[in-house]
Structure 1
Amino acid sequence: MYVGHTSEDGREQSVIDHLKKTAQLAGDYAQAFGAGELGYQIGLTHDIGKYSAEFQRHILHNAPSADHSTCGAKELKNLNMLCAAICVAGHHTGLPDFGNPRDTAENSTLCGRLKREPPTLPDYSEYLNEISLKYAPSPRFGNNFDNSFFTRMLYSCLVDADFLDTEAFMSNGVVQRGGYDHLDQLASRLEVYIQPWWDAKSELNKKRCEILKSCLNAGKNAKGLYSLTVPTGGGKTVSSLAFALLHAVEHKMSRIIYVIPYTSIIEQTADVFRKIVGAENVLEHHSNISFDPKDDTEKSRNNLSKLRLSAENWDAPVIVTTNVQFFESLFANKSSKCRKLHNLANSVIIFDEAQMLPLPYLKPCVRAIANLVQYYGATAVLCTATQPSLEKLFPADMTVTEICPNTSEMYEFFRRTSLRHIGKQSNGKLAEHMAQQEQALTIVNSRKQAHELFELLPKEGRFHLSTLMTPLHRRKILLEIRQRLKNGLPCRLVATSLVEAGVDVDFPAVFRAEAGLDSIIQAAGRCNREGKRTAEESVVYIFESEDKPPRLIEQNIKMMREVARRFSDLASPQTIHNYFDTLHSFQDENLDKKRIIDAFEHGRSGCLLPFAQVASDFRLIETETKSVLIAIEEDAVKLADEMQWGNWSRQLTRKATQYIVNVYPQHFKALVNTGAVSALTEDMGILKDLTLYSEHTGLSLNCDEGQSLFV
């Protein structure tokens, strides 16, 4: 018997057993997008290098290892299956760059590795006694971007199948995955949840029900590309879930994936979904999530254990994740990030706040969404309170269908604020304006200005929110703010833009530093949110700050000023649509700043299909930051102790995110040099001088210059 795996308790799994089981799984996964036979063949081929004497000595006697991945790749290349070959070549180390025919055997590209011969590669010909490989066709696409996308989806099928069969053997069946409720059960729970809503008494709730009914009816429509334009207060979160559930049931789809721009709003969305469909069916996956049970019951532990496993490959029925997690996985090359991708096929994917897709990567993101809809059976919904004018970026043969009719009428009905520009304002003047209001919110573009303005406010009922505060601290502050707003107590909040996207607060007056029009509309959503006042008495004051705006948003401000000159109503759907049209036209070359699409279409520096290079380049958050653990809370102190003793783990790091402030490298260096922070690694430290952390404004920095835009 040729041994493929050995377990700690001495069991052995044969190579042929592992290959056949992996092939079956990979084939089943790839069948979701019509590539079942191809998936089966790569599963059957991926480990044939383990038939070599060198590998058998390695696994049985701990001898040096041998390259077994290239062996399968060479066999697939001989069958003229290059797409499959690159998947097999990278099933451990990640998808390599394809390279070019001039590459030598020393190169790590696929073209280079395919030139390797004995003694670099072992003799693995014994596989012929147990396995018969055969050609399986790949679909033909009209361009290399689509070819690269298919390759990554196929790779996902292989690496997930390989991992799951290995896990099943190593755990001897102890690890159990799946076991979630079916989507039709989740749809039934939604019906129960919304049933009381239909007896709406107020005009506002009747209009919300009208939107909800439109989404339920549209759920029966064909798969495709949709938009859902619902003004703030229209019940967008539940209505979009309603569309997704009914649509998934109607078309026998696999899951619902909800993609959100910021971690600051993902938790409240996930909480809503948990209430509707059950916590055990909702995977919340982002950098701040911790899979620790909130109570010590067996059910809670089992649910969290199942969801922790689901975070590896997204097999849960409802996924709530971030733009960063979603799109960086779609352009990744490592198996750990790519495992989940095949589960995007035949899914309903909601892009909440779609206008927040980052401009420097907008074109490749849109092309990825288009691929999922065109070739992988997905339905995509661009869900916004505004109209981001993305339809022009999709292929000409794709139509974006609006789910909610009469967007102009909806805008007029849900209009709750008036926008007014009040010119240039100093921090002193802003403080005076806020002091004249019992309750007011001001949103600025830098943490530095937020701190300075906060210090000028009357002390009673003043609050500050920025990322210089830990996530846990911000949540506590928001709870107190909501309570004071509800009770009519003085409440003056200064915040950076983190408060705009989906944070549920309702102020009678809002001041917003000039920014992109989409940011101003988002800020307006924090004013008169519940519609208790007229639009005329609920004013959003736009002002030009004395501080120079961050370079990152200078162009957005310029475009906002341009449409303000041409349209009298800044918040109208027509104005917003025109703003995005103008912005996208002006920024056209910068909508793919790293030339991701061109890299796949034409290669880069003579290298075709540069998977590894693109994965390294594709970073939605490019600003490098360092983490400072604020060990004030009891749990944070315990975590700090464990970390200082070297007890690191992924789970420990996830727990710590609730107590972490991210700072720029120059600030981290200054804090370490002064002894205020004890560095654990070059990227993380523990705050030792706790006097630098204020219960009002968070972490104090010696300076906050340079790149000051950081929400």
Structure 2
Amino acid sequence: MFSEFLSHPDKSFVSHITNMLYANDDDAQRYVKLFHDIAKLKSDFQKYIRCGDAKGLEKDHSLLSAYIFLLNSSLDELTSAFCFLSIVSHHGDVDNFYELISPNKNFGSSFQNSKELKFLDEVVSKATGLDIYKNIKTNEQELITRAKNIYYFILKNKLKGFGYNDFIEFKRIYSSLIYADKFEAIFSQKYESLSPVSINELDSYIKHLENKNFSYKRSEFRKFVLNNFDKNHSLFTLTAPTGYGKTLTALNFALKFQKERLIYVLPFTSIIDQTYEILNEIYYNSNEILVSKAHHKTTVDENTPEDRYSKVKFFMDSFSANINVTTLYQLIFAIFGNKNKDNVKFNQLKNSVVIVDEIQALPYKIRTDFIRLCEIISEKFATVFIFMSATMPLIKSKKFREISDPIYFKNQNRYVLKWLDIGGIEANLICKIKESARDKNILVVVNTIKKAQELFLQFCDEFECFSLNGYMHDYHKQKTIKHIKDAIDKNKKGLASPILLISTQSIEAGVDLDFDIGFREIAPISSIIQTAGRINRNFNTKGTLYVFDDICGYSDTIYNDLKRIGDNILKDTLMKNDINEDEIVVLVDKFFKKVGENLEIPCLEQEIKELAFFDINTSVENILKDDYKTLVIMEPENGFIKNIETEIFALKNNHNIDIFKKRDMLKNIIKKISRFGINITSKDMKNLRLFEIKCLKNIFYLPFGDTMYNNSFGLKKDINLNVTKEMFE
């Protein structure tokens, strides 16, 4: 009926399949790629792909393709089942493994009644006319026998269960298929491995920094770490105090492995942008090195030509650049997730170096499972992992090797921790802060947004005062951090007054700011040390971090078991004696040892034993997600939302753009407005006059000019906050 079969509009079916087949594919990868789309040969699909109208046509193809694979598979039962599930799921997300044998599903007792099976003879008949399928099997009875064998194999192993290696093996096959499928569909060519990232640009950048502002300690530290390089090892920890230049040292160490790509992982979007800018600066003049960042608010440049849009977006969303900067959240779901979009990223962990900065931010509930899976990935995929922190958690694995030395902590004398007894009276704390802020740059970190905003208003009329908290959207956070950095630099040059920053833990982990004195509300030891990392960061006059007891009233609720364990160690020590920086490492080790002993267990072991892919993803989402918060957009300027609504309306009514491109462009618009979004509790939402964005269901915004949002400290946590002067740009 057709002179040529198509896999996508204007794309040859045979070309699509052959471009997906790589020389280094093993049998499982070759099978899933060869058969994943074979049911597209049926006439109904060929009519659909040409006219785009699915009315009255059976265009589904995944399940029948999976059955035809099974008929032709010479693989063992488990690998065949993994390949079958991969093909069935290649256009969607992965269900729990045992769903394969549930009634009326795949290998269930009624699978022979599947409506797709009626197209079996038609598809295999057409396939025999193509060289790539010239030896294809066609016997339906043999298919039934094979399906029953798989059914009984899975049933038999249901009691015994599977393991972490099996979990990774499935993801290897599935991710290999969907990555190759998407890459070929977008680029219409075979994927070619990347050349290793050049180290020359980084060397030049480091030399330039040293000539500009030489730091003997950072230089010696980098030499020490690089002397521990071992190309035959793949699991490392890098533990060193803040301010030692761990970022550039880790990059230097990572690039020596000459891997295909680098994936740099950070816990917060604010420091992702900071690190991305550094990397972009290093490789700015390189035409061969692509530096990309990927998090939930990353957008494709609006000026990207339409013919390049999908390609740029794919590289950004799939860790396919030479250097990829991303969030811990993205990596966690690449490893644990069942979703199609996450497993495209998983495929790119192969032959890569993954630097996980601020590893202490990894939730302790999944830390054991995460480390176990990283061990397997490194062994199977030639992946190098480098875990990095100034407050390294206990890594329960003998396979990880430390490449720094505790001596770097013992030689430090930048700050001292002191207990500040305020007698439970907040006014005493305020007096102490005011006394210190007369001639010093001061950092105050408290545990709740409400308390941070209240304290900001206490000081803003008297001092050059700034605020950072989770009720400020990203644009204002970034702008505030830049203003703070500039103000501190001017003060140190004698050109401006000292500043006072009131913050929540938004300041912790990676924000490159340097204060003279700090005040920290009681918190887990790791959080306190992260705050201390902003005190005398650049080795000047010795600073002090005062730790004071709870004033927000919710510290125990916020930190739960971590604070309980930390309090027992910290208060017992700090109430008796001050703690100098060179004594910190002992305190941190004691804390994380207790956390490891009391809180860290294989949380997902049973679900992994069942290969419950959907359930694992849900469990991890529940650990990471705050169900009590909703994203609300703070309109940044007058008419912004109206322009967005006009843009969405025009996109939806543009019939010259295919549905997949429209979907991607709509996601890009949502990411663009998310830069001005804040996750707000349901309780606080009741105080806001919100409007729904037209054409975007359940996405709300606060109009520009509403006095509930203040550019100095964000969305008011308390409607009664006494702001004498509202500030809008």
TM-score, with length taken from structure 2: 0.81
- Map of 1:27-46 to 2, 5 A cutoff? 27-28=22-23, 31=24, 36-46=26-36
The C-alpha deviation readout for 1:175-225, integer Å capped at 9, x for no partner, is x99897x435x30111212234667997xx112111111333334432311
Please name the residue that 2:431 is paired with. 432
Q: Percent identity among equivalent residues?
A: 22
CA contact (8 A) 1:87 1:154 kept: yes
In the alignment, structure 1 residue 422 sits paired with structure 2 residue 423: no
| 2:103 partner SS | coil
| 1:572 partner SS | helix
Please name the residue that 2:403 is paired with. 403
**Residues of 1 paired with 2:100 and 2:316: CA distance?**
38
- Counterpart of 1:115 in structure 2: which amino acid? F
- Counterpart of 1:48 in structure 2: which amino acid? I
Please name the residue that 1:49 is paired with. 39
**Residues of 2 paired with 1:308 and 1:504: CA distance?**
30
Please name the residue that 2:352 is paired with. 347
| 1:538 partner SS | strand
Please name the residue that 1:167 is paired with. 186
Change (3 A) 1:56 1:308: closer
The Cα shift of 1:102 comes to 5.5
The Cα shift of 1:288 comes to 2.3
| 1:650 partner SS | helix
Please name the residue that 1:457 is paired with. 459
The Cα shift of 1:40 comes to 1.2
The C-alpha deviation readout for 1:452-508, integer Å capped at 9, x for no partner, is 222222513122111211211122222222222223313111111011111111111
CA contact (8 A) 1:626 1:662 kept: yes
Please name the residue that 2:270 is paired with. 264
CA contact (8 A) 1:307 1:316 kept: no
- Map of 1:297-696 to 2, 5 A cutoff? 307-390=312-395, 392=396, 394=397, 398-404=398-404, 406-407=405-406, 409-423=407-421, 425-438=424-437, 439-459=441-461, 460-488=463-491, 489-534=497-542, 537-545=543-551, 547-564=553-570, 565=572, 569=579, 572-589=584-601, 592=603, 596-601=604-609, 603=610, 609-619=611-621, 621-624=624-627, 625-633=629-637, 636=640, 639-642=643-646, 649-671=666-688, 675-678=689-692, 680=694, 681=696, 683-688=698-703, 690-696=706-712
| 1:383 partner SS | strand
The Cα shift of 1:546 comes to 5.2
Please name the residue that 2:149 is paired with. none
**Residues of 2 paired with 1:283 and 1:302: CA distance?**
19
**Residues of 1 paired with 2:331 and 2:459: CA distance?**
40
| 1:368 partner SS | helix
**Residues of 1 paired with 2:307 and 2:539: CA distance?**
42
**Residues of 2 paired with 1:544 and 1:519: CA distance?**
14
The Cα shift of 1:93 comes to 2.2
The Cα shift of 1:290 comes to 2.5
Change (3 A) 1:655 1:179: farther
5+ residue gaps in structure 1?
A: 136-140, 604-608, 705-711
| 1:339 partner SS | helix
| 1:64 partner SS | coil
The C-alpha deviation readout for 1:245-300, integer Å capped at 9, x for no partner, is 112x2xxx21111111111211111111112223862111111223327xx799xx
- Counterpart of 2:685 in structure 1: which amino acid? F
In the alignment, structure 1 residue 209 sits paired with structure 2 residue 215: no
The Cα shift of 1:119 comes to 3.9
Please name the residue that 1:5 is paired with. 6
| 2:523 partner SS | coil
Please name the residue that 1:96 is paired with. 95
CA contact (8 A) 1:98 1:111 kept: no
**Residues of 1 paired with 2:221 and 2:636: CA distance?**
45
- Counterpart of 1:697 in structure 2: which amino acid? F
CA contact (8 A) 2:124 2:136 kept: no
- Map of 1:213-252 to 2, 5 A cutoff? 213-247=223-257, 249=258
**Residues of 1 paired with 2:392 and 2:313: CA distance?**
36
- Counterpart of 1:82 in structure 2: which amino acid? A
**Residues of 2 paired with 1:267 and 1:228: CA distance?**
22
The Cα shift of 1:157 comes to 1.0
- Counterpart of 1:690 in structure 2: which amino acid? D
The Cα shift of 1:71 comes to 2.0
| 2:324 partner SS | strand
Please name the residue that 1:115 is paired with. 111
The Cα shift of 1:68 comes to 1.9
The C-alpha deviation readout for 1:546-600, integer Å capped at 9, x for no partner, is 51315241221221122232686485222211210101211134x62xxx22112
**Residues of 2 paired with 1:208 and 1:303: CA distance?**
41
The Cα shift of 1:66 comes to 4.3
- Counterpart of 1:468 in structure 2: which amino acid? Y
TM-score, with length taken from structure 1: 0.83
The Cα shift of 1:306 comes to 5.8
Query: Which of 16, 19, 23 is the matching residue for 1:18?
Result: 16
**Residues of 1 paired with 2:314 and 2:114: CA distance?**
40
The Cα shift of 1:429 comes to 2.6
The C-alpha deviation readout for 1:123-181, integer Å capped at 9, x for no partner, is 2332344313699xxxxx99422212111121111111112222345xxx8xx99897x
The C-alpha deviation readout for 1:597-645, integer Å capped at 9, x for no partner, is 21121x2xxxxx2222322332253103322222233694565454685
CA contact (8 A) 2:522 2:547 kept: no
Change (3 A) 1:540 1:221: farther
RMSD: 3.3
In the alignment, structure 1 residue 64 sits paired with structure 2 residue 57: yes
**Residues of 1 paired with 2:250 and 2:269: CA distance?**
19
Change (3 A) 1:388 1:304: farther
CA contact (8 A) 2:451 2:552 kept: no
- Higher mean alpha-carbon deviation, 329-338 vs 513-522, is at 329-338
CA contact (8 A) 1:427 1:453 kept: no
How many residues align? The count is 648
- Higher mean alpha-carbon deviation, 123-132 vs 159-168, is at 123-132
**Residues of 2 paired with 1:41 and 1:420: CA distance?**
64
CA contact (8 A) 1:283 1:307 kept: no
Change (3 A) 1:479 1:313: closer
| 1:618 partner SS | helix
**Residues of 1 paired with 2:184 and 2:3: CA distance?**
17
**Residues of 1 paired with 2:170 and 2:4: CA distance?**
29
| 1:288 partner SS | coil
Change (3 A) 1:662 1:198: closer
The Cα shift of 1:65 comes to 2.2
**Residues of 2 paired with 1:88 and 1:164: CA distance?**
16
CA contact (8 A) 1:421 1:541 kept: yes
